[in-house]
Amino acid sequence: MTNYLKTLGYGFAIALFALLAYTAYTRFAGTASNAGVVGGPFTLIDQNGRTVTDKDFKGRWLIVYFGYTHCPDACPTALNNIGATLDQLGAKRSRVTPIFITIDPARDTAATLKSYVASFGPEFVGLTGSDAAITAAEQAYHVYAAKHPTTDGGYDMDHSSVLYVMDPDGRFVTNFADETDPATLAERLKSLIP
C-alpha cells in the first residue's frame, strides 16, 4: 500500500513537472514550428507612425533589442552600448540598423519612441504595434516579457535583455548579453560584415 502511494506520488510529481516544463517551453519558444529559429516575419509601426515589416529591412545588418522606455537601467545601458558600437564601426556603420522593439506598447507609442530612440543615435529605429503584433515579435525572438506591478500603482517589465544580430537576409547570426562592451561588439560585427 505504501509503495502504491509512493508510485502515485512520483507519477503525480512527474506529470506536474512535465506540465510546468511544457508551459515554460511554449511561453519561451512560441509555437513548436519556430522553436530554435530566432527572428522571422513581423508587421509593426515605426517611430514615424509608418507600418513596417521585416522585408523593409532586407539588405541591412540589424542589431535588434527588446525593451521599454520606462526602463531606466538595463535599456539605456544596452542602447548606449549599441550607439558606442556604431561609433566604432567605421565605414561599415552605414550597413547596420539598430532596432529597438518595445515590450510595453501600451505606454510606448510611435511618438514616445521617436524622441527616445533619437537620443541614442540618428539611425535608431523604434518599433511598436498592437499587443498581438508585439507578442508575435517577442515569440519570434524568444523574448520573455511580463508586467511586474510596483507599489505606486504602476508597473515595470521583467524581460529578456539580449542583443540579436540579424544578417541582410533576415537570418539570425548571433546574440550578445546587454552589457557586452562596445569594443567587443564592434570587433565581432566588423568580422561578420563582409
Partner 1 sequence: MNYLTLSRRLALIGLCLLPTAGWAADAVQVSDAWTRATPGQATSSAVYLTIVSAQADAVVAATTPIAAASLHLHQMLNGIGQMRAVERVAITAATPFHFAPMGYHIMVTGLKAPLKPGDHFPLTLNFEKAGPVTVAVTVRPLRESTPMTPMSGMDAMPGMSNMDMPK
The maximal CA–CA distance of the chain, rounded, in angstroms, is: 75
Pick the piece of the chain touching partner 1 (CB under 8 A) from 7-15, 51-59, 74-82, 183-191: 74-82
- 131 touches partner 1 (CB under 8 A): no
DSSP assigned state of 103: S
Select 83 or 105, whichever has its Cβ closest to partner 1.
83
**Cβ 62 vs Cβ 166: under 8 Å:** yes
Least Å from the CB of residue 107 to partner 1: 10
Range in contact with partner 1 (rule: CB under 8 A) among 34-42, 57-65, 88-96, 153-161: 153-161
User: Which grid cell is 58?
Assistant: 532586407
Residue 189: how many CA atoms within 13 Å on its side-chain side?
Answer: 35
* Nearer Cβ to partner 1 (54/156): 156
Q: Is 74 in the site for partner 1 (CB under 8 A)?
A: yes
Q: Report, in Å, the least distance between residue 161 CB and partner 1.
A: 4
Nearer to partner 1, 59 or 154 (CB): 154
Segment 2 to 31, residues that bind partner 1, using CB under 8 A:
none
Mark 114-126 as b/e (b = at least 16 C-beta within 10 Å): eebbeebbebbbb
- Give the 3-state secondary structure of residue 77: helix
Binding residues with partner 1: total (CB under 8 A): 36
Q: Which of 76, 31, 37, 79 is nearest to 54 (CA)?
A: 37
34 binds partner 1 (CB under 8 A): no
Q: Does 158 bind partner 1 (CB under 8 A)?
A: yes
- Which residues, including other chains, have CB under 8 Å from residue 43's CB and lie 6 or more apart? 51, 52, 53, 129, 133
Contact residues for partner 1, defined by CB under 8 A: 69-74, 76-77, 79-80, 83-84, 112-121, 144, 148, 150-152, 154, 156, 158-162, 178-179
